[in-house]
Amino acid sequence: MSGFLITCMKTNREMSMFSEERLKDLRKILHENPELSFSEHKTASIIKDFVSEVVGKSKLFILHEPFETSVVVEYKGGDPDDPHVIFRADMDALPVKENSLNHYVSGNEGIMHACGHDIHMTVLCGLVAKVAEDTPSKNILFVFQPGEEGAGGAKKMMESGFFDKYNVKSAFALHVTDDLEFGEVGSNGDVLFAIPKEIDVVFKGNSGHAAYPEKGNDALAAASSFLANVEHKIRKVINPTEIFLMHFGKISGGTARNIIADEVKIEGTLRSFDRNIMSLASEEIKNTAENTAKNFGCRSEVTVLGEYLEVRNDPDLFNMLKKVCDDIDIKCIEKKAGLVGEDFCYFTDRYSGLLFWIGTRMPGQEEKQLHSETFFPLDEVVPEGVKILFSLLTLQ
Amino acid sequence: MSGFLITCMKTNREMSMFSEERLKDLRKILHENPELSFSEHKTASIIKDFVSEVVGKSKLFILHEPFETSVVVEYKGGDPDDPHVIFRADMDALPVKENSLNHYVSGNEGIMHACGHDIHMTVLCGLVAKVAEDTPSKNILFVFQPGEEGAGGAKKMMESGFFDKYNVKSAFALHVTDDLEFGEVGSNGDVLFAIPKEIDVVFKGNSGHAAYPEKGNDALAAASSFLANVEHKIRKVINPTEIFLMHFGKISGGTARNIIADEVKIEGTLRSFDRNIMSLASEEIKNTAENTAKNFGCRSEVTVLGEYLEVRNDPDLFNMLKKVCDDIDIKCIEKKAGLVGEDFCYFTDRYSGLLFWIGTRMPGQEEKQLHSETFFPLDEVVPEGVKILFSLLTLQ
């Protein structure tokens, strides 16, 4: 939790390096070095190097590393008693094998910045650079947060107590999306992102030779029956006017084709805007797993790994975003809440907060999906993001 | 394919080492060093060491290593023109995590002799030792064969051409089972083991963020629908008087809970006694996979990795087994064909052959399943196996 002063020298040559080109280089190196949740060591190092470079010997900046791979750059441009504004970027990548046709690709096989966190970090670094140049009279925390992808990094940062000593006025974050065109942003003044709940469903049977199914208990048969029925089952306990999503994204089980699988694990996520619906859903999943397991002579184990909160935007901050966008000729679209989850919820739960989408799709370009191997937003969004965040800062 | 003469010295001390105790030690070291198909390097080395030890400088024995990790001990006790008798044991283990309560356990985490091949090899080594002592006037090939567990080792050995230079009269193999009590053997003079066909079913979709199912194509949804329906589908194309088994023992797919799975692989095995039924079944699996994939906007790939033959016993050899068992007070039970697969079929397809079950369940003991983590036949079966095989040899 202790900070240290950045004291490295800032030469004229380095000063001139802060530019869109420098941010493009930064984004490239971040994209080429993706790391999974809480393994963002190189990422943190790249960020610290960049911050040192642009901040130089300024005593207005303090670098903190409060929690695991997190990096917080504190800027003390305001009066000591002024409240702080938080700008937050997430750092982790996903276990996705990048499409080799992307402009440049991950150097870590099987890991990819498929959710645009490389852009988020680059924007935040750009904002640090802009603040270092303009030295506004504000107190700011630039928060680089690890473990957003289902790992609950934001919650852990809150629980670390690091923010307790700050009086935080507001917290901002942005998220890239190809759902909007470049030049558009989207948000609202209410709930923007859903409650995500991570759930593991494990079936345990008894192995044996495939030729004698009657002598074993097939965990894979139970798992496939569960998957085939659970969507239907759950729709019978949730009123159809409620918004609810259940998705199972990963499965593994069994040891060989000719052995009865003794264990199959299914990894899923649930989403809604209502905490009661979430409880109802996980209860029904437990029941369905238990009954299905029993039906196949197996046992089931359902584990809730984590449940976030909904991301709830502050209506005043959304109005500010609309004003800022008007001023700099960006189209601000009022978006309805989506079933994406974001642990920025722990910031909006504690502080007045605003999360907004920033469009990345170029005109005429096909929409690429978040978390897919082809998601590769262009660098142009970076200076736009910096501009919006800096404008929001001036209104705080 | 070339052989070399075993020339190591055989001392009196080593002579006396051949005993049931020595075979127990051998079985223990084989059990503790299980290796997967075609990785049986240490296993081959253990066998060669044992054979060298019991065979010593005898010029009646030639050691061959005709194919990958295979070991063939040739014994030339008969006239050069006399035909050869084959005794075959399989060498490979399974990807099963052994139950730690077994008498002693695998030293290779996650790999286990769960199909009793350690016993089969020990019996065959015991037979080599017995032949080395008694020097019968026979020509014999003791065949230690790699890759039985779905890897088609026997077929590959046949295709290697090694056996082409031998005039083989008959081929024998045994297989342990807890289905029979110790002191019982089981076989028949017709088809004993089924045709196994290995099949991989892969579903390919398009990944994306779990929150937008409508923008991706979920390979896991397709796979679970396939698994839930394929048993029902296949029973509509096979006459119920035909014996047929389909089993899927392993599944893996998807990269994370919050990503739409873009690929799921299911590994299965089909069994019947009729080659036409096998074709019909794999055709229907292809159709079901294709239609299911289409239903979910995915693609399917069905790959047949290998298809063995049925193990067809020679009725005369089965009569010999019955006689031998009568003589040595072992109960010989006529067994109906089972859906177990065995690549010993490539021996029975080419030569008069006999495969028989040898009982391992001790009275009052619970039956343990082949391929399960608790399958651990007792050593007592080894000398019994040696005795039966040696008695069969004398009748050739």
Give residue-wise pLDDT tens across range B111-137: 999 999 999 999 999 999 999 999 999
* Nearest by CB: B369 against A215, A221, A267: A215
pLDDT of residue B58: 95
Span B85-107, mean pLDDT? 94
pLDDT of residue B330: 96
Answer whether residue B289 shows pLDDT above 90.
Answer: yes
pLDDT of residue B18: 57
Answer whether residue A126 shows pLDDT above 90.
Answer: yes
pLDDT of residue A224: 96
Q: Could you say which DSSP state residue A263 is in?
A: E
Higher pLDDT, B314 or B307: B314
CA distance B120 to B127: 11
With bands split at pLDDT 50, 70 and 90, how would you rate the model's confidence at B255? Answer: very high
Span A172-201, mean pLDDT? 96
CA distance B206 to B261: 7
- Residue A112 CA, chain-centre distance (Å), reads 13
Give residue-wise pLDDT tens across range B137-166: 999 999 999 999 877 899 999 999 999 999
A36 touching chain B per CB within 8 A: no
Residue with tokens 């420098």: A22
Active site includes A149? yes
Q: Sign of the CA dihedral A320, A326, A330, A335? A: positive
Give residue-wise pLDDT tens across range B31-63: 999 999 999 999 999 999 999 999 999 999 999
Whether residue B101 contacts residue B94, with contact meaning beta carbons closer than 8 Å, is answered with no
Answer whether residue B296 shows pLDDT above 80.
Answer: yes
* Nearest by CB: B212 against A256, A260, A369: A369
Residue with tokens 């088609």: B152
Give residue-wise pLDDT tens across range A97-115: 999 888 899 999 999 999 9
Class of domain B194-307: alpha beta
Residue with tokens 């045994």: B174
pLDDT of residue B27: 98
With bands split at pLDDT 50, 70 and 90, how would you rate the model's confidence at B12? Answer: very low
With bands split at pLDDT 50, 70 and 90, how would you rate the model's confidence at A282? Answer: very high
Binding-face residues of A in 200-239 toward B, CB within 8 A: 206-213, 215-216, 220-221, 223-225, 227-229
pLDDT of residue A165: 94
- Active-site positions of B? 90, 149
Q: What are the residue boundaries of the structural domains of chain A, listed by start? A: 3-190+313-394, 194-307
Answer whether residue B236 shows pLDDT above 80.
Answer: yes
Span B166-187, mean pLDDT? 97
State how far the alpha carbon of A204 is from the alpha carbons of A227, A293, A301, in Å: 15, 8, 8
Active site includes A53? no
Beta-carbon pairs below 8 A across chains A and B: 225
Span A258-267, mean pLDDT? 96
- Picking from A97, A191, A257 by the largest number of B CB atoms within 10 A of its own CB, the best residue to mutate is A257
- ∠ CA(A371), CA(A71), CA(A119), 5° rounding? 35
Active-site entry in A40, A68, A90, A98 = A90
pLDDT of residue B15: 37
pLDDT of residue A18: 57
Answer whether residue A129 shows pLDDT above 50.
Answer: yes
Contacts of B265 (CB under 8 A, 6+ apart): B200, B201, B202, B251, B252, B253
pLDDT of residue A275: 87
Dump the DSSP string for A168-189: EEEEEEEEEEEEEETTEEEE-S
Which CATH superfamily includes the segment(s) B3-190+313-394? Zn peptidases (3.40.630.10)
Q: Do B341 and A245 touch (CB under 8 A)?
A: no
Answer whether residue B295 shows pLDDT above 80.
Answer: yes
Binding-face residues of B in 255-284 toward A, CB within 8 A: 255-262, 264, 267-269, 271
CA distance B277 to A72: 66
Give residue-wise pLDDT tens across range B206-222: 998 899 999 999 999 99
- Picking from B98, B197, B198, B224 by the largest number of A CB atoms within 10 A of its own CB, the best residue to mutate is B224
pLDDT of residue B306: 79
pLDDT of residue B67: 85
Answer whether residue B2 shows pLDDT above 60.
Answer: no
Give residue-wise pLDDT tens across range B365-387: 999 989 899 999 999 999 999 99
Give residue-wise pLDDT tens across range A9-20: 333 333 333 588
B324 touching chain A per CB within 8 A: no
Give residue-wise pLDDT tens across range A25-84: 999 999 999 999 999 999 999 999 999 999 999 999 999 999 899 999 999 999 999 999
Chain mean pLDDT for chain B: 92
Chain mean pLDDT for chain A: 92
CA distance B122 to B47: 9
Please report residues of A whose CB lies closer than 8 A to that of B259: 94, 96, 114, 249-250, 371-372
* Nearest by CB: B227 against A114, A211, A224: A224
- Picking from B175, B201, B207 by the largest number of A CB atoms within 10 A of its own CB, the best residue to mutate is B207
Whether residue B169 contacts residue B314, with contact meaning beta carbons closer than 8 Å, is answered with no
pLDDT of residue A305: 85
With b meaning 16 or more CB within 10 Å and e meaning fewer, what string describes A246-260?
Answer: bbbbbbebbbbbbbb
pLDDT of residue B152: 81
CA distance A129 to A123: 10
DSSP 3-state of A57: coil
Residue with tokens 């080659």: B275
State how far the alpha carbon of B217 is from the alpha carbons of A96, A112, A201, A236, in Å: 16, 20, 22, 24
Nearest to A246 by CA among A265, A258, A229: A229
